[in-house]
Structure formats: structure tokens, C-alpha cells
């Protein structure tokens, strides 16, 4: 069903989960980490690990960062959403699809270069908690990497329209189930801007996003601090992925810079637009040309509330 929707050029946004790369939530609500005997990593994050959806991770803005972080500017540091460093109870999910899902590599060929770059520059030699088949037997770096992109996901104030008490009408929410609808709103605004300028809506977004990552990187704010090693509520697991320069399995390509994002979406459509011309006899004995625009789309937001979401 997800593939069918993608082939109809429909955007599906799914939160990447709130338990990091290796978190586990038990039936009684407590959290822990996936034991090594069970693979050591969360099991692929479906449906967020599907190549037919756009997976959305979570970010946070830290007022301060640890003294050993080697970051000079410790004010408003953008980082992966993690319960290890901030007061949110959630950690951005991410990783690679499980071998059991058996996706075909051509289904996510659009991210091949970005993933290869990440794996060539990162590993246990420079990130001690980086997964390997030794410490996490289910580690599957040839799988579909997720998330694709991120949005703010930490303690955003919302008005509770159902509340009858003035002192409880504002509440705070967190998690990638906040990040995904935030990104859906931005995509909707981007679609409006594109249509007003004679372009098509975004549609199936993943090929465009990774094209931007390679050719129009100003569309994103890269997030290069933190890891998704923690589970929920600050529980630390043995393995997780770093948020680094470029795409990574913690925050994806980063967060959207709206105005450049729209301009890059236009550039992508210009680069990909093709016109199919069919020639047939016209009533006047000449030829008539029929042009078919291959771009169509609409935004559908799939707000995935998993057992791991708040």
C-alpha cells in the first residue's frame, strides 16, 4: 500500500520513533535497550524504514553543551533530540532497515551516495558506540537508512483546545510525533509557494531530498551534534549513531531552511522535468503534439503513533 501511494506521487511523512537506535519499551511502560542476543538494535523502525515514506527524525536546541564537546559556541546548539542531553524524555529513532524486511536496493537508490559517504567517514574507530555486527548482530548497513530529514521535536508548547481550565490550556509535547506534523505543515506551505510560481507539488519526496543534499545543500541546516544512543528517559544503550556532517541515521539530512528549500525544489523540478511528446496525424494533415507533465502530487500526512510514541 505504501509503495502504491508513492507511485501515485503522494508524500507520506512518518516519525522515526522516540527510542533511539537501540531502545526498547516493555509492556509495563518501562524502557531499556535491545539485548545483544536479540540483535542489539531496534528492529528496523517500520514503517519509518520503508523506502516509500519520508522518515522524520527529531532535533533539539540545547542552551548549553558538555564541556568536553569541543564546540566553542555553547548557546543555542542544534543537536539530535536525545534524552541523554536534554530534558525531553525522547530520543530520535534511526538506523537501517532490518534484513527481515527484504527491501530491494534499487527501491532506495536515491540515498546510496549519502549513506556510503556516512559509512566511509564514521565507524567504531571514531565513535565508540557505533554499531558493528559484533556488538549488534542485527546491524544491516546495506539496508534502507532512516530518517531522511528532521524537524524540531522537543517540548513545544501547544494550546489544548479541550481544556476548560485557564491554567492548563497550554501543554508541552515532544517526540517525532511532533516533528512529523511540523514538517507536514512546512511541506504544505512549500507546495503552496511552488504552485503559485507555476511548479508542481512535492509529491514523493525522497529522490528530491537527496538530490538537494548533493546539489542544493543550502535547503537544509545540518545537525552535527549528539547521538541517538540513549533510549527514552535517559536510559543509555551500548550502541547508537552519531549526528554528523551530511546525512546520518540520527537526523537525516538535517532540518529545512524554508526559503532556500522552495528554491531548491524548483531547481530540482527544472532538472528533472521531461516532456513526453507523441506525434499523431492532425485533422489538417500536419502533426499535433501532446505534452504530459510527469509531476503530480499532494501531501498526505501519516501520523504514525507507535507503541513507542508518547
In 200-309, alpha helices (H): 206-215, 258-272
- Return the pLDDT at 64: 56
Work out the pLDDT band at 278, boundaries 50, 70, 90.
very low
Please report, in angstroms and rounded to a whole number, the separation of the first and last CA atoms in the chain: 26
- pLDDT-wise least confident of 110-114, 220-224, 234-238, 294-298: 294-298
Residue 26: closest CA among 308, 310, 229: 308
Q: Which of 44-48, 105-109, 220-224, 244-248 has the lowest mean pLDDT?
A: 44-48
Q: Which residues contact residue 260 at a Cβ distance below 8 angstroms, ignoring those fewer than 6 apart?
A: 216, 218, 219
Q: What is the pLDDT of residues 115-160, one digit of tens each?
A: 999 999 999 999 999 999 999 999 999 999 999 999 998 878 777 7
Instruction: Residue 20: name the closest of 140, 146, 115 by CA.
Output: 146
Q: Is 200 known to sit in a ligand binding site?
A: no
Q: How many CB atoms lie within 10 A of CB 111?
A: 22
Q: pLDDT for 42-95, tens place per residue?
A: 876 789 999 999 999 999 887 655 554 444 444 456 788 887 766 667 899 999
Distance CA(191)–CA(281), nearest Å, equals 37
Is 248 known to sit in a ligand binding site? yes
d(CA 111, CA 96): 12
Predicted local confidence at residue 240, as pLDDT? 95
The CATH number, out of the four listed (3.40.50.300, 1.10.3720.10, 3.40.50.200, 3.30.420.40), of the domain defined by the range 2-301: 3.40.50.200
Write down the mean pLDDT value for the chain: 82
Give yes or no for residue 165 having a pLDDT over 80.
no
pTM: 0.82
The answer to the question of whether 238 is labelled as a binding residue is no
Do the beta carbons of residue 14 and residue 54 sit within 8 Å? yes
153 is in an annotated binding site: no
pLDDT at 298 over 60: no
**Domain residue limits, the chain:** 2-301
Amino acid at each position: 500500500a505504501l509503495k502504491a501511494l508513492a507511485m501515485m506521487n503522494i508524500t507520506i511523512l512518518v516519525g522515526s520513533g522516540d527510542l533511539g537506535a537501540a531502545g526498547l519499551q516493555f509492556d509495563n511502560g518501562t524502557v531499556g535497550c535491545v539485548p545483544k542476543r536479540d540483535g542489539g538494535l531496534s528492529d528496523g523502525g517500520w514503517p519509518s524504514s520503508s523506502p516509500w515514506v519520508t522518515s522524520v527524525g527529531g532535533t533539539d536546541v540545547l542552551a548549553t553543551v558538555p564541556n568536553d564537546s569541543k564546540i566553542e559556541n555553547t548557546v543555542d546548539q542544534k543537536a539530535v533530540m536525545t534524552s541523554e542531553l536534554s530534558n525531553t524524555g525522547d530520543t530520535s529513532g534511526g538506523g537501517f532497515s532490518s534484513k527481515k524486511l527484504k527491501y530491494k536496493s534499487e527501491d532506495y537508490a536515491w540515498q546510496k551516495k549519502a549513506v556510503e559517504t556516512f559509512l566511509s567517514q564514521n565507524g567504531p574507530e571514531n565513535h565508540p558506540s557505533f554499531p558493528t555486527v559484533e556488538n549488534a548482530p542485527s546491524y544491516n548497513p546495506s539496508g534502507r537508512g532512516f530518517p531522511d530529514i528532521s524537524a524540531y521535536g522537543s517540548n513545544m508548547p501547544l494550546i489544548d483546545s479541550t481544556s476548560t481550565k485557564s491554567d492548563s490550556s497550554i501543554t508541552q509535547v515532544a517526540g517525532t510525533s511532533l516533528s512529523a506534523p511540523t514538517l507536514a505543515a512546512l511541506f504544505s506551505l512549500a507546495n503552496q509557494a511552488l504552485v503559485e510560481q507555476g511548479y508542481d507539488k512535492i509529491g514523493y519526496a525522497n529522490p528530491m531530498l537527496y538530490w538537494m543534499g548533493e546539489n542544493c545543500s543550502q535547503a537544509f541546516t545540518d545537525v552535527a551534534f549528539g547521538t541517538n544512543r540513549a533510549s527514552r528517559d535517559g536510559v543509555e544503550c551500548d550502541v547508537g549513531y552519531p549526528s554528523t556532517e551530511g546525512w546520518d541515521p540520527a537526523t537525516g539530512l538535517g532540518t529545512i531552511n524554508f526559503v532556500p528549500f522552495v528554491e531548491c525544489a524548483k531547481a530540482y523540478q527544472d532538472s528533472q522535468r521531461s516532456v513526453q511528446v507523441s506525434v499523431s496525424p492532425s485533422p489538417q494533415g500536419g502533426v499535433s503534439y501532446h505534452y504530459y507533465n510527469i509531476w503530480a502530487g499532494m501531501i498526505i500526512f501519516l501520523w504514525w503513533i507507535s507503541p513507542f510514541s508518547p
